Amino acid sequence: MGVGSEIRPTEEVSSESRPTLGVDSEIRATLGGDPRGVGPFFQSQRLEIYREHFERLLEMGRAYPTFESAEELDAMRTAARERKETFRYRRPDDYDHAAATARMKTEEHVLRFHMTSEPVRVVDEVLGEIEFTDQHFDDFIIRKRNGFPTYHFAVVVDDELMGVTHVLRGQEHLNNTPRHVGLQKALGFATPTYAHLPLIFNPTGSKMSKRDKDKAARAACKEAGLKASPITSIADREFKGWLKDKKSQLHTEQLVELAAHLSLELPEIDVDDFRRSGYLPEVVCNFVALLGWNPGMKNDDGTDVEKFDMDFLGEHFDFSRIGKGPSKFDRAKLLSFSRDALAAMSDGEFESCWRAWCERYDPSILERLGDSFALAARAAKLRARTLKDAANAVRFALVEDDAYAFDARAVKKVLLKNDGEGLNVLDGFREKLGAIEPFEPDAIESAVRAFCDSREIGMGTLAQPLRVAVTGSTVSPGLGETLALLGRERTIARIERCLAVEHKVSGG
RNA sequence: GGCCCCAUCGUCUAGCUCGGUCCAGGACGCCAGGUUCUCAUCCUGGAAACGGGGGUUCGAAUCCCCCUGGGGUCACCA
């Protein structure tokens, strides 16, 4: 969801960027820097800026070089674990700064920040005051062997230079805060206001992560026993590497294609995933805001205020009402919010939203519906939980007239029962079809009603056989809408096909 | 394991700051009815929670302590 992430000016920003509530596009638009002089936004281009601050820290003795290899550090960690101790890198008591800085001129090294043992008090807007006392601070790395700053160093410098006053991030960053504060103090920077937001979990209880999509896809691939890449957009070699490395990620486009190939529903994680799944952006915003925050207001009918827009959020949002505990992402409730929002739209609004979604994600729907799209939108609106889901309501109209199957139970119950009463009624009504004018929902329903009245039968006695005849199932939108959507020709064709096919069944 | 954070129905939460109006309210989901040509919608009703134990108090969901539970974090990732 991007909530736990920070948008950092890293080397990887362009490939790994996540559109987070529209912020990303702005940042990308100014990658080279902006009029305030805060850019450039590529770490490689900022190295000179960082270098200056590394120097300062080095001079005041708060930064120092260390020369252990990654393997040596690993060994030290393992040894510490065996002694049941937490591994902490601390500057040796006999550390000789002059010697070390001389040595760093010729040897590969990393730079570490020397944390003092002075307690760090963090004032967090949602958690309150937290004191990180113990001497458990370690001297963390601020510059890697390759000369690039680590995240901890980069955030602190970048935030200062960008004039960042408020840092909102996931609670997973809470333990990093004393490091950042320590760095800020050493560098003489101001400490921004911190607000650590509660984490969001999957219904299973695991942390919601952008890697979840890869995880799901990987599991499906293994399930299917796939050894080689099934699609051209993923090179075989890349595919195999991805299968093996649990931390690797494919591009969204590749994942989407792979999921389609496996008929797998990818979990929605990024804002874009939700859009693809047919959720309105404003609904997602509303829902996510409600995870961990609550306006604490009542509606006139005594229910809680839960549905609101960005304006409301802008006016009422405040840190003090943010929950402290993590929350699980409840798909069912999101779906409910989504359905309500779609249903609350005018027919016209829904039609254009759905059309836009189809254009972007499934143009074939547009082609198949053609001029009937508006009618289909009307039929689908009340039945759609998401824009993606909308097509299901009118699925019957998307297939060829002889390509849908008749549900066996429906046929038995609706058409064949009572010596084929359904088929007889259907046959009787078929003749009336030519006379309905215009062939639109209201007129069609009137005709159905009139026919039933004249025969003194209930609406259902005709409606259900008709529905099964033209859709193959007992479920569809209102009868008028269903028939109108197909049009007169197709309706008649479908009824005739049904009568022909079922004749054999009932005869046998 | 060390450190840090958290703890009300299955889920999201209101209530906790200023203890009594809370035998705990709402929403989603679930169950049972009703309306309707099916589905969906809509309406009515229902089951469902203050993790446990100690305090403080006339009185605790609300304050304090302990336990338990959940989570986060311990990288030359961000």
- CA torsion, ordered A308, A313, A315, A318, to nearest 10 deg: 130
Residue A27 binned pLDDT confidence (cut-offs 50, 70, 90): very low
CA atoms of A440 and A480, how far apart (whole Å)? 7
Query: Is the pLDDT score of A163 beyond 50?
Result: yes
Average pLDDT rounded to a whole number, residues A306-315? 94
Q: Based on the domain organization, do A416 and A389 belong to the same domain?
A: no
Q: Based on the domain organization, do A390 and A482 belong to the same domain?
A: no
If you write DSSP's letter for every residue of A184-234 in order, what string do you get?
HHHHTPPPPEEEEEPPEE-TTSSBP-TTHHHHHHHHHHHHTT--S-SSTTS
Q: Based on the domain organization, do A78 and A26 belong to the same domain?
A: yes
Q: Based on the domain organization, do A391 and A444 belong to the same domain?
A: no
pLDDT given for residue A28 in this prediction: 37
B31 C1' – A330 CA distance, angstroms? Answer: 20
Cβ atoms of A103 and A138 within 8 Å: the answer is: no
Q: Based on the domain organization, do A20 and A147 belong to the same domain?
A: yes
pLDDT tens-digit series, residues A187-243: 999 999 999 999 998 877 777 777 888 888 988 898 899 988 999 999 998 898 888
Greater model confidence, A93 or A110: A110
Cβ atoms of A258 and A269 within 8 Å: the answer is: no
Structure tokens at A212: 């979840």
Query: Is the pLDDT score of A412 beyond 60?
Result: yes
Q: How far is CA A436 from the centre of its chain?
A: 47
pLDDT given for residue A508 in this prediction: 37
Is A340 domain-assigned? Answer: no
Query: Is the pLDDT score of A15 beyond 50?
Result: no
CA atoms of A498 and A410, how far apart (whole Å)? 12
Query: Is the pLDDT score of A11 beyond 60?
Result: no
pLDDT given for residue A246 in this prediction: 79
B75 C1' – A74 CA distance, angstroms? Answer: 10
Place of tokens 């960005």: A310
Is A8 domain-assigned? Answer: no
Greater model confidence, A101 or A219: A101
Domain of residue A421, residue span = 408-507
Q: Based on the domain organization, do A80 and A187 belong to the same domain?
A: yes
Structure tokens at A317: 């949002």
Structure tokens at A301: 């009918």
Residue A507 binned pLDDT confidence (cut-offs 50, 70, 90): very low
Which residues in A181-198 are b (16+ Cβ under 10 Å) and which e? bbbbebbebebbebbbbb
Number of domains composing chain A: 4
Nucleotide nearest to A343 (CA to C1'): B41
H helices of A60-190, where? Answer: 70-82, 97-103, 151-162, 177-187
Is A315 domain-assigned? Answer: no
For residue A25, give the H/E element and its range. Answer: helix A23-29
pLDDT tens-digit series, residues A257-296: 999 899 888 888 888 899 999 999 999 999 999 998 999 9
Q: Find and give the residue nearest to B39, measured CA to C1'.
A: A475
Nucleotide nearest to A328 (CA to C1'): B11
Residue A37 binned pLDDT confidence (cut-offs 50, 70, 90): low
Nucleotide nearest to A290 (CA to C1'): B12
Q: Which of A212, A210, A217, A216 is nearest to A231 (CA)?
A: A217
CA atoms of A484 and A466, how far apart (whole Å)? 13
The side-by-side arrangement of strands in the sheet containing A128-132 is A128-132, A120-124, A193-197, A166-170
As a whole-number percent, the residues of chain A with pLDDT over 70 amount to 90
Q: Based on the domain organization, do A383 and A503 belong to the same domain?
A: no
Cβ atoms of A376 and A485 within 8 Å: the answer is: yes
Average pLDDT rounded to a whole number, residues A152-173? 92
Is A2 domain-assigned? Answer: no
Query: Is the pLDDT score of A10 beyond 50?
Result: no
B59 C1' – A144 CA distance, angstroms? Answer: 61
CA atoms of A307 and A206, how far apart (whole Å)? 27
pLDDT tens-digit series, residues A326-376: 999 999 999 999 999 999 999 999 999 999 999 999 999 999 999 999 999
Lowest mean pLDDT among A18-27, A63-72, A171-180, A463-472: A18-27
CA atoms of A401 and A494, how far apart (whole Å)? 6
Q: Looking at strand B, which nucleotides approach a protein CB closer than 7 A? A: 1-8, 10-15, 25-29, 36-42, 70-78
For A76, list phi and psi in degrees, rounded to 5.
-65, -40
Average pLDDT rounded to a whole number, residues A169-177? 92
Query: Is the pLDDT score of A146 beyond 80?
Result: yes
pLDDT given for residue A133 in this prediction: 78
What's chain A's Rg over C-alpha atoms?
A: 32
Residue A204, CB half-sphere, CA atoms under 13 Å: how many? Answer: 6
Q: For residue A112, what are the β-bridge partners?
A: A64, A141
Is A469 domain-assigned? Answer: yes
Residue A184 binned pLDDT confidence (cut-offs 50, 70, 90): very high
Is A119 domain-assigned? Answer: yes
pLDDT given for residue A187 in this prediction: 96
Handedness of CA A359, A361, A367, A373 (dihedral sign): negative
Q: Based on the domain organization, do A82 and A148 belong to the same domain?
A: yes
Residue A39 binned pLDDT confidence (cut-offs 50, 70, 90): low
Structure tokens at A370: 């053609």
Return the number of other C-beta atoms located less than 10 Å from residue A287's C-beta.
22
Answer left, alpha or beta for residue A225, where phi above 0 means left and psi between -120 and 50 means alpha.
left
pLDDT given for residue A24 in this prediction: 36
Length of chain A: 508
Write the CATH number for A91: 3.40.50.620
Average pLDDT rounded to a whole number, residues A120-146? 89
Is A450 domain-assigned? Answer: yes
Q: Is A24 exposed, middle or buried (0-12, 13-18, 19+ CB in 10 A)?
A: middle
Nucleotide nearest to A335 (CA to C1'): B28
Angle between helices A281-290 and A331-344 (to 10 degrees): 140
B22 C1' – A383 CA distance, angstroms? Answer: 39
pLDDT tens-digit series, residues A425-459: 999 999 999 999 899 999 999 999 999 999 988 89
B71 C1' – A292 CA distance, angstroms? Answer: 15
pLDDT given for residue A23 in this prediction: 38
Is A298 domain-assigned? Answer: no
pLDDT tens-digit series, residues A42-99: 767 789 999 999 999 999 999 999 999 999 999 999 998 888 888 889 998 889 999 9
Lowest mean pLDDT among A1-15, A32-46, A485-499: A1-15
